[in-house]
Amino acid sequence: MENSLIPMMLPIVFPGQGVPHHVLKSIALEYTNWTNPDDATERFVKYAGDVAYNVESAELRNLHAKGDASRTWVYSFNAVIDQHMLPIPDWATKANHADDVAPFFGYQMDYKEAFNISDYQPPAWELDLSEQTLQNTDIHLGTTRSDGRSSSWIP
């Protein structure tokens, strides 16, 4: 498989280093959109997200998890909510930065103040997602209250 985009992107991550062909090939396999190999937009976003955030985040989580008193856990938020919290480009089709804030912390915040969003009423499935997320977080933190309501860790 030949993927010319990967060799062009790798020097950004590994400046001044030669990347072996078998590594290029493995990375090209991971970051190729197989349903439309000529469309690199979505795969570049994944690649850039992995390079700029996910790799460093995984390394930090692993270091934190090695601590004696560590209670490290990670969540992945993939739901595409009805109202994005921040402006996004038209081609962004997945969850974006800050989209997890409302489901994770609840819908009681002042969205007009925080995101310049007014009169937003989330659909029922988002409210259900939020309740499940809050309950799961309480379980992981060991803070579930007897009435099932979210606990005091929420800001």
pLDDT per position as a tens digit, 15-45: 777 778 788 788 888 887 778 877 777 777 7
The last residue of one of the domains, among 17, 41, 65, is 65
Query: Highest mean pLDDT range out of 60-64, 84-88, 129-133?
Result: 60-64
* pLDDT 10s digits, 89-121: 887 778 888 888 878 777 777 777 777 777 778
108 shares a domain with 52: no
81 shares a domain with 135: yes
How is residue 32 written in tokens?
A: 């190729």
Of 25, 27, 26, 7, the C-alpha closest to 17 is: 7
Of 131, 123, 136, 137, the C-alpha closest to 81 is: 123
102 three-state secondary structure: helix
149 shares a domain with 88: yes
